[in-house]
Structure 1
Amino acid sequence: MADSVLRRRMAWTALARVFRSDTPGIGRRLAAIPRMVKATMKGQYDGGTRLAMLAVAGVYIVSPIDAVPEAFLLVFGLVDDLAVAGYFAGALMDELERFLEWEEQREHIIPGHVVG
C-alpha cells in the first residue's frame, strides 16, 4: 500500500516538475518520445520495462473494458480511469525527463574502443 501511494505521489511530482524553469518543458519532452522509443528498441536506453508499463496504462485508459465499469457505477467508475491517467501523465513526463538527461550525458561521451 505504501509503495503505491509513493508511486502516485512521485507521478504527480513529476507532472508538476514540467512547469519548473530548471527542467525541460513539455514541448521538448513530447518531441523526445520518438527518440526514446527508438533508443529503447535498439537496446541503447534501458526504458523497456517502464515504457511497457506506460503502454499498458495507455491501453487501459482508452479501452472500453475497465476494472470498474462506468456504466454501472457512474462517477466511481471514472475514478479508476482518472487515477490511471494521472499515473500515465506523471510517469511519462518523469521518464521523458530521465531520457533527456541520458541523452545529454551521451553527448559528452566520445565513441571508441578500450585497448587493453
Structure 2
Amino acid sequence: MGEKEAGQMAKTLRRAAAFSALGKALFAGARGGPSLGKRLAALPRMLKATAKGEYDGGMRVALMVAATAYVASPVDVVPELFLALFGLADDALMVAWLAGSVLSETERFIEWEQRRAAVIPGHVVT
C-alpha cells in the first residue's frame, strides 16, 4: 500500500470514528443514558469544573474549544469560496466530531458528578 492510499485510509477511519461517536452519543438516551437536554445542561458545569481543576477533562475540553474555533474562524471562509463542497466537507466533519465529542464527554461528566455525589465527606479512621 502506498503512502497516498494509507493517508486516504486514515482519513476514512477518522471520519468513521467521528460519525460513530456522534451516533453512539445521540442514541445513548434511548438505551438509558442521559437525555440530550441533560447533556447540554451539564456543559456549563463541566466547563466550570474543568477550569477549577476538579474534573479531568482539560485536554478533551481544549480540543472541543479548538474545533469550535476552527469551524467559526473567518480564516476558513476563503477555502470554501474557492473549493466549494470540498471546503465545506472539512467543516462538516469537524462539526460531526465536535457534536459526538461534546455528547460523549458530557455523558462522562454526568457519570463523574454522580460518583462524586455518592461519596460521603469525612475522615477515614484507622
TM bucket, shorter chain: 0.7 to 0.9
Q: What percentage of aligned pairs have identical amino acids?
A: 45
Matching residue's letter, 2:47: V
Q: Matches of 1:98 and 1:34 in 2, distance apart?
A: 14
Deviations 1:62-99 (A, max 9, x none): 11122981010111110000000000000000000000
CA distance in 1, matches of 2:82, 2:103: 33
Give distance in 2, aligned partners of 1:5 and 1:79. 11
**CA RMSD across the alignment:** 2.2
Q: 2:111 aligns to what? A: 101
Q: Partners in 1 of 2:56 and 2:119 — Cα distance?
A: 17
Q: Distance in 2 between matches of 1:20 and 1:68?
A: 40
Q: 1:67 to 1:4 in 2, by over 3 A?
A: farther
| Structure 2 spans left out of the alignment, 5+ residues | 1-9
Give, as a single letter, the amino acid of the residue that structure 2 aligns with 1:92.
V
Give the 5 Å matches for 1:24-43: 24-43=34-53
Deviation of the 1:19 alpha carbon: 4.4
Partner of 2:80: 70
Greater shift in the superposed pair: 5-14 or 64-73: 5-14
Larger-Rg structure: 2
Higher helix share: 2
Residue 113 in structure 1 maps to residue 84 in structure 2? no
Runs of 4+ in structure 1 displaced over 6 angstroms? Answer: none
Q: Does 1:22 align with 2:22?
A: no
Asked if structure 2 preserves the Cα contact closer than 8 Å seen for 1:61 and 1:81, the reply is yes
Gaps of 5+ in 1: none
Partner residue of 2:101?
91
Does the 8 Å contact 2:18/2:97 carry over to 1? Answer: yes
Q: Point out the more displaced range, 85-94 or 59-68.
A: 59-68
Q: Secondary structure at the match of 1:69?
A: helix
